[in-house]
């Protein structure tokens, strides 16, 4: 009962915070405390959203822009998850494999993805291929690092217990190491998804003809601040929804997280 009341209180605080921000925004624009050419009124942003939802933006519907962005992100994230988990487990379990892979990942990890995006555009064009490869490089390091680090922290007692019961090295890898690393790996995947999303929007602002990032950049060129705000809100809300989806998946897949 106490836990339910605490959750209800936290939700109420969140709701009050959001309402307070909206009221401050409304008051600042209604009382001319800010220039509405820079910060549009809430009603103007809402009307712009309805207009884009009905008529689209620059020959593309809002759903088309959103689908273009998410399809690029999901394709790259899926590829990065497969490669990152596989190589992370392998490198954590086999030091020689780690000696090969870790220098390459550590080289790419601190680089801003947009630093080499120009090269990808020159090699692959401004289509989806260059963006998916860019997002793959952006999403891969957090997954790899989390997975490899978790693999090295598997208690020896767990593996020795499995050996004493007659488990093979293969069985230890898949039934002990993999499941022990899964909670931290999923956390790394959530981090990678956020990194990939921000990188995607930036990439679409550099070279694209569709997507949320392109829509915001085009609106900036045309001084449509209401459309910019619409794009920002859509990015934020979709990011929150996807992160909550990953959290729900994490709770479902690893209910033992934090208990071992």
Regarding pTM above 0.75, the answer is yes
Give the dihedral of Cα atoms 209, 211, 213, 217; nearest 10 deg: 40
> 92: how many CB neighbours lie within 10 A of its CB?
22
Copy the structure tokens of residue 235.
Answer: 């990015």
CB count, 10 Å around CB of 23? Answer: 11
CA distance 62 to 9: 35
CB 229 within 8 A of CB 40: yes
C-beta separation of 146 from 85 below 8 A: no
Contacts for 233-237: CB closer than 8 Å, 24+ residues apart? 233/45, 233/49, 234/62, 234/66, 235/197, 235/201
Max Cα-Cα span within the chain: 76
Q: What is the pLDDT of residue 258?
A: 56
Predicted pLDDT of residue 257: 64
Whose CA is closest to 240, among 2, 71, 14? 14
- State how far the Cα of 92 lies from the Cα of 28, in Å rounded to an integer: 54
Structure tokens, 34: 């800010």
Question: Residue 165 phi/psi, 5° resolution?
Answer: -90, 5
Pick the closest to residue 160 from 172, 149, 152, 170 (CA basis): 172
Provide CB contacts within 8 A for 235, sequence distance 6+: 197, 201, 212
Cα gap 3→8, rounded to integer Å: 9
Chain-centroid distance of CA 34 in Å reads: 33
Per-residue confidence of the chain (260 residues) as pLDDT tens digits?
666 777 788 888 989 999 999 999 999 998 988 888 888 999 999 999 999 999 988 888 889 999 989 999 999 999 999 999 999 988 887 888 888 888 888 888 888 888 888 888 888 887 888 889 999 999 999 999 999 988 888 888 887 888 888 888 788 888 888 888 888 899 999 999 999 998 988 888 887 778 888 999 899 888 889 999 999 999 999 988 988 888 888 888 887 665 55
Sequence-distant (6+) residues with CB within 8 A of 69 are 200, 201, 204, 211, 212, 213
d(CA 165, CA 49): 62
């Amino acid at each position: 009962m106490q836990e339910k009341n605490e959750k209800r209180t936290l939700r109420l605080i969140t709701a009050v915070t959001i309402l307070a921000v909206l009221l401050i925004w409304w008051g600042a624009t209604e009382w001319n405390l800010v220039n509405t050419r820079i910060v549009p009124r809430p009603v103007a942003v809402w009307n712009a959203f309805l207009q884009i939802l009905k008529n689209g933006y620059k020959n593309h519907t809002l759903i088309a822009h959103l689908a273009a962005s998410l399809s690029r992100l999901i394709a790259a994230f899926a590829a990065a998850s497969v490669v990152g988990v596989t190589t992370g487990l392998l490198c954590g379990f086999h030091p020689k494999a780690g000696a090969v892979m870790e220098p390459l990942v550590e080289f790419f990890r601190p680089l801003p993805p947009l630093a080499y995006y120009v090269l990808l555009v020159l090699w692959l064009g401004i289509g989806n291929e260059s963006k998916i490869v860019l997002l793959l490089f952006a999403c891969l390091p957090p997954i790899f690092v989390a997975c490899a680090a978790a693999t090295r922290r598997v208690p020896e007692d767990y593996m020795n217990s499995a050996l004493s019961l007659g488990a093979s090295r293969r069985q230890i890898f898949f039934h002990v190491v993999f499941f022990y690393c899964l909670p931290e790996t999923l956390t790394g995947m959530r981090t990678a998804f956020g990194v990939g999303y921000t990188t995607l929007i930036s990439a679409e602002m550099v070279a694209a003809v569709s997507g949320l990032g392109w829509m915001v950049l085009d609106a900036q060129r045309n001084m449509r601040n209401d459309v910019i705000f619409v794009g920002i809100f859509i990015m934020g809300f979709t990011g929150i929804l996807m992160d909550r989806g990953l959290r729900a998946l994490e709770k479902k897949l690893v209910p033992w997280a934090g208990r071992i």
